[in-house]
Structure 1
Amino acid sequence: MMVIVGMRVSMMIVSMMVIVNMRVIMIWSAPSASNNKIQLEDDQGNLQWVDLLEPVPKTRVTEDNVTFLLYTRSNPTNPTTLRTGVDSSLGEFNPKHETVLVIHGWTSNPSSVSAITDGFIATGRDYNVIVVDWSGPASPGYVTAIGNAREVGQIIATFIDYLASKGLSTSHIDIIGFSLGAQVAGIAGFRVSAGTVGRVTGLDPAGPLFNTASSKNKLDSADGDFVQVIHTNGGLQGYKGAIGHADFFPNGGSRSCAHHRAPAFYAESLARSTPFTATECGSYRDYSRNECESRPRAVMGAYTPRRSIFGHPSALLPDPAVSARGAGEGEGGLIHLGEVLDDRLRREYVSEGVGRRVLDRLPLMYRIRLALFMGTSPPSQFYLP
C-alpha cells in the first residue's frame, strides 16, 4: 500500500487520499459548505456517510442512557443490570474478583463484543464481566456520537468510583473498548477518581477526528497503569500512532478492511493455547526485514503482562495465566515492555502539583531525547505477522 497525503489547501478543502492497489479512496476531507461528508465503517462493517457539519443536539447523556450488564461464570447468559448508587442491584458482583468492562463502538450494541464477553467466561476463572451498553448515545451521527462519548466516559468513571466504594480495587479493573468504544475507555480511565485503573485496552481506537482531540478526550498512556493498544486499521478507521505503554501492530497495523480484526484478535487470545507473540521494533519496515530479532518479545491480547512499579521497567508481573502458559521471555517469564518517559516524570510532576499531562504536550522527538537522557525509552511498539 502506498500512502499519499495530498495537501491542496484552499478556502474550500484539505484532503487526504490513500492509494490501495491503484484505487483512490478519499478517507478524510475537511468540512466546507460544498464538501462536508466522508464515509466511515460502522461496528457492523457497513459504510456510513458522515456529515462533519451535522448539528449536535443540546440534550445531555444521562445515566439512563448507559446500562451496565454483569456476566459471571455462574450467570453467563442472563446478565444482571448494575446501577450506580443502588446497592441492591449488585447481585452477583464480587469485589474480590478481577473486573472487566467491555465497551462497544459506534452504531453498535453489546452483541458486537459478545465474543470477548464469552471468551472471558469460557476461561473458567472468576471474572466480573460488565458490558457497557451505550447503544443509544452511540447511534446518532459520528460527530454527535463523539460528543456523547465524552459524557458516557464520565458516567462509566462515576460507576467505577461507586464499585470502588464497595471494595473493588481499581488495580483489578480492565477497561476494554473497540473503535469509538476504545476512546470511551480512555476517557473513563482518565476520569476515575478512586484510583488508577489497572489496565485499559484499546482495540483499534477510532481515528477520524481524534488526531486533534485533547488528551483528556481520547485514549492515551495516562488513562491507566498499563495501556495496551492493538492497531489493525491505523490511518483509515483506526488511530494510526502509538499511544499506549505497549502498542501492537499485527500485519503492520494498517491493513485496509481490518478494523474488526482487533476485537477478533483479542477474543482469540483468551482461548489460544499458543499466545500471539510480538517483537519490539521501531517500524514495520524494520520488522519485515528481520532487523529486530534480538529485541524483546511480548504477548498480545488478554494475557499481556501488566507493569507493577513506576520507574522500574524490569518489575513486570505477568498475569498468572501467562506464566502457566510459559509465555514470556527472560527470568520468571518477565517481558521488558520498556518504561515510558511520561510515567516516570509524571509521578514527580504530580507530587509537585504541576499536573499529569505536562509531557504529553511535548513533540515526540523531544520525548525521545529526554528518554535517552534519563535512561528510559519511549512507548514500546510491537509487531507480528
Structure 2
Amino acid sequence: MQTGVQLTLLLTLTIAVVYGETGFFLSTRRVQENPQQVEAEVEALVRSSFYAADPAVLAIPRWLGNISSPEISAVVSARLQQQDSNIFSVDLTEASDETEIIDSVASLVIVLNNQFDVPLDRILVVGFAEGVHLAGGVAVKVQQQLGRQLSQITALDPSSGKDLDHKLSQADAEFVEVVHTNAGGEGTWEQLGHVDYYPNGGQTQPGCSTDSCSHERAFELLAEMWSPENDFVSARCGTVESLSASSCRWSTHKMGQKEEEQPASGIYFLETRQSSPYSRGAYFISFL
C-alpha cells in the first residue's frame, strides 16, 4: 500500500514538472504597479487586495504568455482607467497542458462565485490569440460545474485554434464578442462569436507592415472600446467577403459596447486610424 501511495505521489510530481502550473497575478487600482501573485483559494484572496464588491476580469494571454506580455498590460491599463476592478492576469509561462490551464482558471471563477458571491455577470473573461480558445474552454468548464453560463467573453484576434482541443464558439457564454485584426495571418477569418468585428477589413491594420503589428492591434483598441467616449461606429455586413464601408449597413452600434440588449448577431465592419485615438466614427452612410 505504501509503495502504491509513493508511486501515485511520484506520478503527480512528475506531471506537475512536465506540464507546469497556471499562475495568477492580481491587479487593482491599489496595486496596479505591483501585481500580487495569488492562488485560486480563499485564504490567498483574503490576504490580497481583492475586493469582492468590484467586478472581476480574467485576462488570458497568448500561449506561454505571462504578465509581461503586452496584451496583459493593455487589459489592466484599459480596465483600471475606467473602473475599480479585480484583474486576474493568467500566467502561462510554466503551463503547457490545455486541460490544466482550463481547470485552473475555471477553479478561480468558481471560488469567486461560490466563496465570495461574485455574480457570473460581474466576471468578464478576455483572451488574446490562443487565449481566446482557452477562455472558451474555461467558460464551458464553469457551466459544467455551476450549471450557469458566464455572461461575456471578449476575444481579441483569435488564432485558428487548430492545435487546441477547444475552439471558441458563441455557445460558450451568454455573449461572445470577437475582434479580428489579422485574419489570415496570425489570426483567423472564422466567425466565432455572437458578434465578430473586422476593423479595416480584419486583415491588415493602418500603419502596420507586419502580421505581428496587425495581430497586436486588437488589444491596443481596448482602451477606447471600454471608454465612455467609444466612437467605434460599426456597419453590419452580410458576409466576410463584403467587408467594406460601401457594402455594409451602418448602424449606431459601437464595437465593444454592450447595451441592455446585446447587439444583433453578425459580422461588423469599421474603420480606424493608425494611432490613438483609433476611432473614426462612421464615414459612409448606406441604406442598403
Pairwise TM-score range, normalised by the shorter structure: 0.7 to 0.9
Partner of 2:253: 298
Note the alpha carbon deviations across 1:313-354, whole angstroms, 9 max, x for none: xxx51xxxxxxxxxxxxxxxx6x622xxxxxxxxxxxxxxxx
Letter of the structure 2 residue corresponding to residue 298 of structure 1: H
Q: Could you say which structure has the greater relative contact order, defined with CA pairs below 8 angstroms and 6 or more residues apart? A: 2
2:98 maps to 1:149: yes
- CA contact 1:102–1:176 (8 Å) conserved in 2: yes
Q: Which SS does the other structure have where 2:62 is aligned?
A: coil
Note the alpha carbon deviations across 1:7-61, whole angstroms, 9 max, x for none: xxxxxxxxxxxxxxxxxxxxxxxxxxxxxxxxxxxxxxxxxxxxxxxxxxx9358
- CA contact 1:81–1:89 (8 Å) conserved in 2: no
Q: Which SS does the other structure have where 2:125 is aligned?
A: strand
Aligned match for 1:244, one of 193, 200, 203 = 193
Aligned match for 1:108, one of 53, 62, 65 = 65
Tell me, which stretches of 5 or more residues in structure 2 are unaligned? 1-13, 205-209, 272-288
Partner of 2:122: 172
- Structure 1 residues 173 and 89, CA gap change in structure 2 (3 angstroms): closer
Note the alpha carbon deviations across 1:162-206, whole angstroms, 9 max, x for none: 111121111111100110111111111111023311111111111
Matches of 2:17 and 2:263, distance apart in 1: 38
Q: TM (normalized to structure 1)? A: 0.58
Q: Which SS does the other structure have where 2:132 is aligned?
A: helix
- CA contact 1:200–1:226 (8 Å) conserved in 2: yes
- Structure 1 residues 71 and 134, CA gap change in structure 2 (3 angstroms): same
Identity %: 28
Matches of 1:159 and 1:95, distance apart in 2: 13
Partner of 2:89: 131
Of Structure 1 and Structure 2, which has the larger fraction of its residues in strand? 1
Letter of the structure 2 residue corresponding to residue 381 of structure 1: I
Matches of 2:110 and 2:172, distance apart in 1: 15
Matches of 1:280 and 1:337, distance apart in 2: 10
Matches of 1:101 and 1:63, distance apart in 2: 21
- CA contact 1:208–1:238 (8 Å) conserved in 2: no
Note the alpha carbon deviations across 1:105-160, whole angstroms, 9 max, x for none: 1243212220221121122x2211111111122xxxxxxx4xx2332012101111
Partner of 1:184: 134
Tell me, which stretches of 5 or more residues in structure 1 are unaligned? 1-57, 138-144, 306-315, 318-333, 339-378
Partner of 2:154: 201
Aligned match for 2:237, one of 275, 278, 281 = 281
- CA contact 1:61–1:152 (8 Å) conserved in 2: no
2:15 maps to 1:59: yes
- CA contact 2:25–2:67 (8 Å) conserved in 1: no
- CA contact 2:240–2:267 (8 Å) conserved in 1: no
- Structure 1 residues 88 and 106, CA gap change in structure 2 (3 angstroms): closer
Matches of 1:87 and 1:289, distance apart in 2: 53
Aligned match for 1:96, one of 38, 53, 63 = 53
After superposition, residues 295-334 of structure 1 pair within 5 angstroms as 295-301=250-256, 304-305=257-258, 316-317=259-260
- CA contact 1:231–1:248 (8 Å) conserved in 2: yes
- State the Cα distance separating 1:384 from its structure 2 match: 0.8
- State the Cα distance separating 1:240 from its structure 2 match: 1.8
Partner of 2:76: 117
Q: Which SS does the other structure have where 2:68 is aligned?
A: helix
- Aligned pair count? 244
Q: Which SS does the other structure have where 1:164 is aligned?
A: helix
Aligned match for 1:337, one of 263, 268, 280 = 263
- Structure 1 residues 337 and 196, CA gap change in structure 2 (3 angstroms): same
Q: Which SS does the other structure have where 1:75 is aligned?
A: coil
- Structure 1 residues 160 and 65, CA gap change in structure 2 (3 angstroms): same
Partner of 1:380: 266
Matches of 1:189 and 1:164, distance apart in 2: 13
Say what the alpha-carbon RMSD is for the aligned residues. 2.5
Q: Which SS does the other structure have where 1:150 is aligned?
A: helix
